[in-house]
Structure 1
Amino acid sequence: MSKPRTPPTPNARFRVQAPEPPTPKHPGPPGQSAPSAPSGPSLIKQRRPLFSPFLTTLRQRFSALPSPIRRAGRTLRWLGPLLPIALYFPEHVMQVMWVRGPSMTPSLNEDYEQSQTKSDIVLVNMWPWGSLIPFLKEPKLERGMIVTFRSPANPSHIAIKRIVGLPGDRVTTREPCMRPTQIVPWNHVWLEGDAENPRKTMDSNTYGPVSLNLVTGRVWAVLGPRMRWLDWKDWETDSDDAASIHRKSVRERVVKDAVTLEQPFLN
């Protein structure tokens, strides 16, 4: 007969510890047992987002639309943020304009006499004149600059002319102005067209000095049909061509800083 097996004796070198019961994180007062954790499911409701049902319904209805409408909706979702930028840029930063009429020939619309159907495309800087801070409009206009402005005769019309006189200058006028000379007042400029014939342009000789508040931008370059930069510093240079001779005659009609103007004090 086989001998009955005896339980193995524990090894003195290794000991097995029994797991200790977990201690409560928030023990109660002494003498009172800690409350037992609920064995059932939690009764705390999770808060759902306020617009979750609405967004879910909206997604379901959008997925049910035809494929062309869904593609158009996705396109408008990306173009939507760009719309304010597209509206702000041409009104306050840079704008492309078409020049009509012969008032600025030969600087603009060079071939107007041969073909009156063509018009130059110009790039206009709409940023406040020469100031790096958009809300600080410091007058940085100079004689010879070509600017855009709202015509005093028709404020809805944007005109393009050249600055001939600054505040304090004495200008000898030409037709159809009734006064032989004109002092440019403070906060105004004297604008004229480059056309040699005064009947081809309507400028300050017709409606007088133009307020700086009506100036909207400065013409930087001609984009077409022949691209070129317009440097206002060329106004003071002389050459043998007809345009330079006309510029010289216009400069001779202007006495720079003829009078000293005092800025009016505003309370």
Structure 2
Amino acid sequence: MQLLAIGDNVVDYYEDQDMFYPGGNALNVAVLSKRAGARASYIGILGNDEAGDHVLQVLKQEGINISRIRRAHGQNGMAVVKLNEHGDRVFVRSNKGGIQSELGLILTAEDAAFIARHDVVHTSVYSRIEHALPELYRLAAVSFDFSTTHDREYMKRVCPHLTYAFFSGSGLTKEECLLLLEDASRFGAETVCVTRGEEGAVLRRGGDIAEQPVVPVQAIDTLGAGDSFIAGFLTAYMNGSSLEKALGRAAEAAADTCLTYGAFGCGRPFSLKDHA
């Protein structure tokens, strides 16, 4: 199975550690799907700063196809993360995606030929390429992470071009999650999944509903668990596993991610105070 992730990348800067880790939904799914057994590629814009250098080095180290990557003069995306009073990591601020958000990712004819060689393309609400979804859907299966965006008008615009739609539903009741599944399915997404944190996940394909409990672990960092769930599911399902087995593999992948810092490790010492 060949997966291509297009769009957002950042480094997640952990204030309590003075470390940053590669991140961003699209980049995470590329790396985590490769670790799960897929052949993975990534298209995005990296800054020409220390953060961009580190992201590029990690992508090479992980064996990701980066032949269509862009680099530009400016800051790479960075999000600042800290521990709250409960010991959970929360995003406190960011540079809004850095240079990629400033320039916008424009896909070329050469990109289209490259995209068509993949089985599935994954992107996200943070990647700002909704305009390209009809073309992507023509070229390959499309996976999209809505994160916590549940706006129905936005869903109506995006869902007709999706094979797989993923939502974060932490804090929603089960009834609210089922309604979200129904709406996204009615708007055109073929397979819809809502992850619910400690409550597991619920998925709808056609008229069928499947539920998946979490795999319990002693988590040290939950950042990236949702992205790992997506990567684990797509890799397993598109390699021929049943929905139930793919959901189980996704839950295991999410649990594994909770055992390391960052979405997939690869941290580097860094201090924002030295770069103020």
**TM-score per shorter chain, which class?**
under 0.3
Relative to the length of structure 1, the TM-score reads 0.22
Which has the larger share of strand? Answer: 2
Which has the larger share of helix? Answer: 2
Q: Which has the higher contact order (CA 8 A, sep 6+)?
A: 2
